[in-house]
Structure 1
């Protein structure tokens, strides 16, 4: 009987921690880990490995400025919906990070709503995006 009570208390503590994990300060998540945001990378796999994401988590996009270590400048767009994300239609996308904003401490985007955030790069005429690379979805949980 005492063992089942202990298990119940531990389970309740785990549930309480899980329920409040997304509240408060959130965590800083480096997009692409130590490799950062770069062309030709499958960030969908990265997002799966680093999820779940929570409300108030911040995604940090780090990439070198144009002319340094990358042949083509990088940027970060927030796509308005799944269709734009899937088809790589950047006409109504919001530029959240231009080619120079990823250097230094990086570009920080806070996930402050329980909605899908569709991130993509339009660089290289959107070739990587069309190929399913340099884009990912993050849907923070409460």
Structure 2
């Protein structure tokens, strides 16, 4: 399990770095400096439904989904859609884990609940990626079982637009 996680992390980081480098304009040396002011109006932030048409549910591999649907950028919104609790569905929530180790272990002790079981209905719960930092999302229901089974969790490292 640890080797698989390490391989996924290495692939994820390589994809993020190569995408960031591909977005730079080599004809203009200023693009090599992160503090250079860029045209932020060129690319509008996007809203992305987590899981696409699958939404946020048990048994779907969200880490795989994030790798295939990235990159994500600062200002983009992740929309978590899931059914409110009823007699036929599992309840879901969304937690923001504080670090990579909490993400690996699905340790919710220091995690912040950002959406409860009732916030995913209708248009869903929207989370804006505001900073250049890693974000670690997980479902915290069933005392973290939905996360620990390895599928209802995913990392995101938003990139800076280099337009």
TM-score (normalised: structure 2): 0.71
Q: How many residues align?
A: 126
1:93 and 2:111 correspond: yes
Which ranges of structure 2 fall in alignment gaps of 5 or more residues? Answer: 1-22, 26-37
Change (3 A) 1:69 1:55: farther
Q: Residues 56 and 110 of structure 1 are in contact (CA less than 8 Å); yes or no, is this contact kept in structure 2?
A: yes
TM-score (normalised: structure 1): 0.81
Superposition pairs for residues 7-22 of structure 1, below 5 Å? 15=24
Computed over aligned residues only, the root mean square deviation of the Cα atoms, in angstroms, reads 2.1
1:80 and 2:98 correspond: yes
Cα deviation code 1:8-57 (max 9, x no counterpart): xxxxxx756xx767976410000000110001211011001101000000
Match of 1:135 in 2: 153
Change (3 A) 1:115 1:23: farther
**Cα distance in 2 for residues equivalent to 1:96 and 1:84:** 16
* SS at 1:140 equivalent: coil
Bigger CA radius of gyration: 1
Where do 4+ consecutive residues of structure 1 move more than 2 Å?
Answer: 19-25
* SS at 1:126 equivalent: helix
Of residues 116, 122, 130, the one that matches 2:140 is: 122
Q: Residues 22 and 54 of structure 1 are in contact (CA less than 8 Å); yes or no, is this contact kept in structure 2?
A: no
* SS at 1:125 equivalent: helix
Match of 1:41 in 2: 60
Which ranges of structure 1 fall in alignment gaps of 5 or more residues? Answer: 1-13
**Cα distance in 2 for residues equivalent to 1:133 and 1:116:** 18
